[in-house]
Chain A
């Protein structure tokens, strides 16, 4: 006989845990083993509730609001290193480890993670992978999907499933590591990942160059794309973004600013900085070297999570469209950062915005992005707006395939319901 279960309801107060978008969890599980995590998932599924995986809670408001009542499953107590054969340049860790801790472990062997993550003291590896986060060095180091070679995750069946493996080349089975990266916790709770890591660079430099004439931006970007330099990052900041990012490190000036990041051995970095002077045909730029670059890398990475105004977007464009895309955004209403080499534009709205006004602005820039083969997502906005503004954009044709994959791995729609794209309703 079927046990009668009462469908859970949204609790009022954040007794258990926040879920983001002003919703609260019915319960908080903080398992210390994978078995306990499976038990928690099983229990919630049996009771008809949803499961909301959480790590460092740095991105709970990302995406659409939680769709139905459910429990938070906090993975942060699962934080061991499973295997670190450093001479193989791979590491396998549990997903709840914070990015800072992971970086520290790698640094002991003179190695590093290839992903820029905001708030690394709080953010967990699982969360970074689930959101597919990236920062300025994506141009040189690739996306999280390029680092991950193995994944384990707990599905709504309450079993831990794996894909990929622990070696750098492997085509056995379907590529679950890629599928889970950027899946926003909607396919399962990521419990473990194996990553490719690389040696720490011998030297680094960040060049900070105010640009007088933003109209010449495209020329500059094109020149950089074919310059003799091999930067790992080149960002372009609007005046207010330059102040936000550069201010704390004493560089902020109200000017459009080009930031070029270089990492390699010391000879190569010296050579590239010299070469930049020649190619730029000027010398009035600042150069930070080696350890002094760290705070600026952090600021460049964390611009995306700043909250200078009511909402923020991220556009993905062809690099050749970046300059035109930036050109017609009023500098006093937006702080803008372009990871220009990969065509990602981070847009922070400034000042007061009405919902209608924001909706129109988003729709306009989204249409522009989509026309060029790109897209625009709303990374942060007041929860009520999310009922009107499709934060992930208009439906794409391949979302139908995505829905089929979602149904295959999570038939009851237990995992992070509501959050991501293409769910019915």
Chain B
């Protein structure tokens, strides 16, 4: 396609940009029609929107290099996007420019079970790798609830967690190396198939940097051995408070479950309506508690957990003993958990999934606090979260069409996150700062901390053209959010 196909309203600079990108990638990999672009105006965070000028779909690293160089030549910003499941507006094209969609870079390049690594392109969906490893005895540990959609590049950028990261660690603990295209268009190999390489741990620095250090094109991930066996318990409680006290009790007893997830009544009902797994709809809360490892140790651990559950007035209603994570009953319970966010659509037209962290012993306190917030702000809050990590996901339900509700939902979020900070926690455990939480950063970090982070940002992204206005509140990009609505030029 040539520049003449660009709508006449586009300025000639925009037309030249599109022409250059089209020449480099082919017309089939470049979108610039307004109605096609609207799909990309937001990700899983719907409160702010901005339409990119162009969306491109590179199919290889060289394509990414070409795109980045073109953007630099034209002086326009660019932002990487995987599956767009970010819940923090990480893919929002602030200031327009070019969105680089990685979904056509989807090859699994190598699987090496003996040396326990795999090399994948950034657009490989998390669960594809999981599926291709079934039966090999190893797996990729990070399993975000969005794993059927989100990309491994996105997991790297956000340092994603998931239910099973309690025992096994988050994405950064499972990445050995990266190939990135730097903001000035150079391809750099960071780390490698062997874990330690001399030099700074740049892999550790880049994982979780939310696209601000360049475009990740390949990822060398660590593969972990499958456990020999596991027990997955469903514990039922009358009240949320009892359930989280049990969580604190389990952790304090020195038990490190593979997963420890909490679902409250509002969510149980939504999930039951959607999946009919058999969760008790009258329960105040349920915990999904999983232990894994050698079979020889598991009965003892499961017994200890049952006792703690009983001490906190709960009851273990189901206990699934399994040998592989492919067993139907096992899959059913986790499907229900992981699809919970999807089920919430039955309860509310719009919702905002928050992400805060508290020390695990502070869970009872923060849950009581959230009940107070819900009453004060007159918004409903549902809970389904990674309790064992102290990682909350209050889901604040509101109607996008009602500005007052939107404001109250935002206020509720801020109140909850402020309390997380006060308790010594964090404003994000896994979803990222994105654009959503820029204003929270100065509450968590001192000006000196932020200056050091900014210095590192500026060293690796000197023009600030790569993922502008993400992660760090710099350059006056901290977006005013008291007037939510469409930020797009629409």
User: Chain A residues in contact with chain B, CB under 8 A?
Assistant: 83, 85-90, 110-111, 132, 142-143, 145-146, 155, 157, 159-163, 165-176, 178-179, 181-183, 187, 198-199, 222, 225-226, 228, 230, 264-265, 267-268, 270-272, 316-320, 342-344, 372-375, 377, 392-393, 396-402, 404-409, 420-422
Contacts and interface: CB of A to CB of B under 8 A. Distances in A.
B429 A169 contact: yes
B204 A145 contact: yes
A372 B194 CA distance: 9
B264 to A, nearest CB: 20
Contacts of A264: 293-294, 297
Contacts of B173: 142, 146
B256 A198 contact: yes
Contact of B201 (A161, A166, A182): A182
A169 B433 contact: no
A178 B206 CA distance: 10
Contacts of B254: 110-111, 199
B158 interface: yes
A182 B455 contact: no
Contacts of B202: 179, 398, 401-402, 405
Nearest to A407: B459
Given A87-B361, A199-B254, A409-B455, A401 B390 contact: no
B224 to A, nearest CB: 11
A398 B290 CA distance: 40
Interface string B221-236: 0000100100000000
B122 to A, nearest CB: 17
Given A165-B426, A173-B471, A404-B459, 13 more contacts: A132-B201, A146-B169, A161-B451, A169-B357, A172-B426, A173-B450, A174-B209, A178-B207, A375-B194, A398-B202, A402-B199, A402-B202, A405-B460
B456 A174 contact: yes
Contacts, number: 250
B189 A398 contact: yes
Interface of B: 112, 114-116, 137, 158-159, 161, 165, 169-170, 172-173, 182, 188-202, 204-205, 207-209, 225, 228, 248, 251-252, 254-256, 293-294, 296-297, 300-301, 357-361, 386, 389-391, 424-433, 437, 440-441, 444-446, 448-453, 455-460, 471-472
Contacts of B190: 398, 401
Contact of B426 (A160, A167, A401, A402): A167
B198 A373 contact: no
18 contacts: A85-B359, A110-B254, A142-B169, A145-B201, A161-B449, A162-B449, A165-B444, A168-B360, A171-B428, A172-B437, A174-B209, A176-B452, A228-B294, A264-B294, A343-B195, A375-B197, A396-B197, A407-B459
A306 to B, nearest CB: 20
Nearest to B209: A174
B204 A320 contact: no
A88 B188 contact: no
Contacts of A409: 452, 455-456
Contacts of A373: 192-194
Contacts of A179: 200-202, 204-205, 456
A88 B425 contact: no
B327 to A, nearest CB: 19
Contacts of A225: 114
A354 B429 CA distance: 54
Contacts of B432: 171
A285 B455 CA distance: 56
A405 B445 CA distance: 20
A181 B205 CA distance: 11
A118 B329 CA distance: 47
Given A165-B426, A166-B359, A408-B458, A181 B204 contact: yes
